Amino acid sequence: MIKTQELTKQYGKLYAVKDLTLDLVPGDLFGFIGPNGSGKTTTMKMIATLLQPTYGEAYVCDLSVFTHPKEIRRLIGFMPDFFGVYDDMKVIEYLEFFAAAYRIRGEHRKKVCDDMLELVDLGYKRDALATSLSRGMTQRLGLARVLLHDPQVLLLDEPASGLDPRARIEMRELLKRLGTRGKTIMVSSHILPELADVCNKVGIIERGELLVNADVAEVMRQVRDHLVLHIEVVDETGRAAKLIERHPGVRSVEIVPQHDRQSIRVSLEKEKGLDDYCDLPTVLIENGFKIRSFKEDEINLETAFLTLTKGITA
């Protein structure tokens, strides 16, 4: 649905985007991550045919951005970071205006607008002035607008920007719902943990160059330098730690105070996975220990981002 080959945008000697190659298929929800000025918005604008590449190629549904820009615009929904609403329009009038621009007519237009309001949970605001909406509601209204013509591809530039925690949660749930509809969605955001929760693929860009393009699990694997377990036993933590220390593949063992009790932090070899240590609980139980908890120390997307980037912009 979205394919780029060495996509590049250059301003003089400055590369806003350089040799970017992507391949997203129907159903992909792609999280596009990078510092401010890294090239996220420029990339989206080139795919949306709003900005012409210096060289390279981009395709949307097998159509080139160079030769079929009008056809591509009918297939995509592009939601910029900030957009305006008309002061004197009600919410339903705002949607009907854009539906008319998409040449959706008659009763079908009314039904489509009502359906989109329900999808983004704004049905109760249909007769409110668009300018009276909160920032979160305005973002959801903008999303309803780009969905009016049922696009196959969605390009969402910082849809959670400036939202309060509740509005971010609502936006995240809305993206999940859209992901089940088989659309290809490219979403940029700085709310990294939330992207990990909704996206199946992630791209990390810095100074216009794509550093990582992989499944979320693969990105986590790339940045993990070792496996860490947290084990808590009911009593005799020190004796349990000495027992674990003798287990093959254990690099180090540390007792960590936690409020009124202690846990054991176990650092393991990177080459092995969690399955290689699933016998540890059995070893502890056979030696008379009662296990309160046994869990892996997970690496989140924020950690991966900080590990893979240097905070440099173009």
- Opening angle at CA 153, ends 46 and 119, nearest 5: 130
The pair of structure tokens assigned to 226 is 């070792």
Q: Report the pLDDT averaged over residues 162-174.
A: 78
255-279 pLDDT per residue, tens: 988 777 888 988 877 655 566 677 8
Which sequence spans correspond to the domains of the chain? 2-89+132-222, 226-298
- Pairwise CA distance, residues 125 & 147, whole Å: 18
The set of residues, in sequence order, having a beta carbon less than 8 Å from that of 313 and lying 6+ positions away, is 35, 36, 37, 38, 206, 207
201-245 tens-digit pLDDT: 988 888 899 988 888 777 766 666 567 888 999 989 999 999 998
Q: What would the mean pLDDT of 92-109 be, rounded to a whole number? A: 93
pLDDT band with cut points at 50, 70 and 90 for residue 298? low
CATH superfamily ID and name for 2-89+132-222: P-loop containing nucleotide triphosphate hydrolases (3.40.50.300)
Cα maximum dimension of the chain: 76
Mean pLDDT of the chain: 86
* Fold annotation for 226-298: Alpha-Beta Plaits (3.30.70)
> Strands across the sheet with 209-215, in order?
76-79, 153-157, 184-188, 29-33, 201-206, 209-215
Beta strands in the chain (DSSP E): 2-11, 14-24, 29-33, 55-60, 63-64, 76-79, 153-157, 184-188, 201-206, 209-215, 227-233, 250-258, 261-268, 291-296
Helix axes 91-101, 106-119, angle to 10 degrees: 130
Report yes or no on whether pTM surpasses 0.85: no
Position 146 scores a pLDDT of: 92
